[in-house]
Amino acid sequence: SQERVFNFAAGPAILPENVLKKAESELYIWRGSGMSVMEMSHRGKDFLSIIEKAEADLRKLLNIPSDYTVLFLQGGATTQFAAIPLNLCNPEDPVDYLVTGSWGDKAVKEAQKFCKPNVIWSGKSEKYTKIPSFDALEQNPDAKYLHICANETIHGVEFKNYPIPKNKDGILVADMSSNFCSKPVDVSKFGIIYAGAQKNVGPSGVTIVIIKNDLIGNAQPITPEMLDYKIHADNKSLYNTPPCYGIYMCGLVFEDLLDQGGLEEVQKKNMKKAEILYNTIDASNGFYRCPVEKSVRSLMNVPFTLEKSDLEAEFIKEAAKEKMVQLKGHRSVGGMRASIYNAMPLAGVEKLVAFMKDFQARHA
């Protein structure tokens, strides 16, 4: 069928319809260049105008201070799990990780190869449903940085504010893959923010790193060139061939977010969508359940289970028939998960909650 569905996938994920249409209209020939963006030299003036505009728009959106560098890289957020310790520490340096879900857990495991990470708190024994009170955290003053995952995509746990790093350089590093550009963020509180694009801002293949300039240039000698922030910063993300088309798509998304009035407006829409979905779950008398502590529930990824778990397959099948797809929870946790990123329209969430209420009425 040629009809679009409401795609609740965690990533790659739904993109704004007007962005897709604009890309379609420019796919064959980009603005008088005689060719598609996919065919352009990454060093030609047309592509340079695309990457420069994408960066300028992202700087506007997040109000990125001038002493921060923006990089458009490859390798996904997963590659940053290694790049961060390689660029910020020596092999014997201690670092602190706060682990609130499986992505933070993966990050610390990778860091173990390149420095001496210490997990200062883990939510694992409580099935990753919480974020601790920051006062109680025992941070190491000698740590090179404190790492958090701002939004755990699988478990649906999101930081609503951020711990103050107590290490001597005061460096906080955040994986924002799944809530990047979903709300305003004070970039100056972070040493590094990084995110794979494929949830909120574009197709897979682009990884965005926002890094304070004074953290660039200290990579361990064994660091591969492709992981060295200085190489990419000195070459304005054009050291090698970048993911050109993906960067172009991210640029269209940034433009669209600015047109919507910026991240404060975007956050309002995201809060509204999350509210109606969580309210439906909480008002279901236990038919649906979200395990995450209320104060840290994600605005982006909403995991929920059915009290009658044998109905889960039926729920997913019926929803798909009504053009709501990818509602199955991550294989590691089961249940359902609705990812409601920026590009998910309110109408998609309204349709989902209407379906949930109807499904409950039929199966209660």
The widest CA-to-CA distance across the chain, in whole angstroms, is 63
Asked whether 284 and 304 are in contact (CB, 8 A), the reply is no
Q: Which is nearer to ligand PMP, 33 or 204 (CB)?
A: 204
Span near ligand PMP by CB under 6 A; candidates 19-27, 75-83, 122-130, 335-343: 75-83
Q: Which is nearer to ligand PMP, 13 or 353 (CB)?
A: 13
Asked if 175 is an active-site residue, the reply is yes
Annotate 89-117 with DSSP letters as a single string: --TT-EEEEEE-SHHHHHHHHHHTTTSEE
Residues 265, 174, 122: CA angle, nearest 5 degrees: 115
Q: Which is nearer to ligand PMP, 76 or 348 (CB)?
A: 76
Catalytic residue among 57, 121, 144, 199: 199
Asked whether 101 and 155 are in contact (CB, 8 A), the reply is yes
Q: Which of 16, 76, 117, 251 binds ligand PMP (CB under 6 A)?
A: 76
In eight-state DSSP terms, residue 200 is: T
- Does residue number 335 form part of the binding site for ligand PMP (CB under 6 A)? no
Asked whether 17 and 24 are in contact (CB, 8 A), the reply is no
Q: How far is the CB of 92 from ligand PMP (least distance, A)?
A: 26
- Does residue number 205 form part of the binding site for ligand PMP (CB under 6 A)? no
DSSP β-ladder status, 207-212 and 192-196: antiparallel
- Does residue number 11 form part of the binding site for ligand PMP (CB under 6 A)? yes
Span near ligand PMP by CB under 6 A; candidates 70-78, 126-134, 248-256, 290-298: 70-78
Q: Which is nearer to ligand PMP, 149 or 192 (CB)?
A: 149
Beta-carbon neighbour count of residue 77 at 10 Å? 25
Q: Which is nearer to ligand PMP, 149 or 356 (CB)?
A: 149
Total residues in contact with ligand PMP, by rule CB under 6 A: 11
The CA R_g of the chain, rounded to the nearest whole Å, is: 21
In eight-state DSSP terms, residue 157 is: E
Q: How far is the CB of 42 from ligand PMP (least distance, A)?
A: 21
- Does residue number 305 form part of the binding site for ligand PMP (CB under 6 A)? no
Asked whether 201 and 254 are in contact (CB, 8 A), the reply is yes
Q: Which of 13, 71, 77, 146 binds ligand PMP (CB under 6 A)?
A: 77
- Does residue number 182 form part of the binding site for ligand PMP (CB under 6 A)? no
Helices (H), ranges, the chain:
17-27, 45-62, 76-88, 102-111, 229-234, 244-259, 263-282, 312-321, 346-363
CA distance 176 to 10: 14
- Does residue number 270 form part of the binding site for ligand PMP (CB under 6 A)? no
Catalytic residue among 96, 103, 105, 144: 103
CA distance 277 to 274: 5
- Does residue number 102 form part of the binding site for ligand PMP (CB under 6 A)? no
Catalytic residue among 57, 96, 105, 175: 175
Residue type, 37: V
Q: Which of residues 149-178 bind ligand PMP (CB under 6 A)?
A: 149, 153, 175, 177-178
Report the interhelical angle of 346-363 vs 312-321 (nearest 10°): 130
Residue type, 35: M
Q: How far is the CB of 100 from ligand PMP (least distance, A)?
A: 10
Q: Which of residues 233-262 bind ligand PMP (CB under 6 A)?
A: none
Q: Tell me the backbone φ, ψ of residue 117, rounded to 5 degrees.
A: -75, 150
Asked if 103 is an active-site residue, the reply is yes
Query: Rule CB under 6 A: which residues touch ligand PMP?
Result: 11, 76-78, 103, 149, 153, 175, 177-178, 196
Q: Among all residues, which ones are annotated catalytic?
A: 103, 175, 199
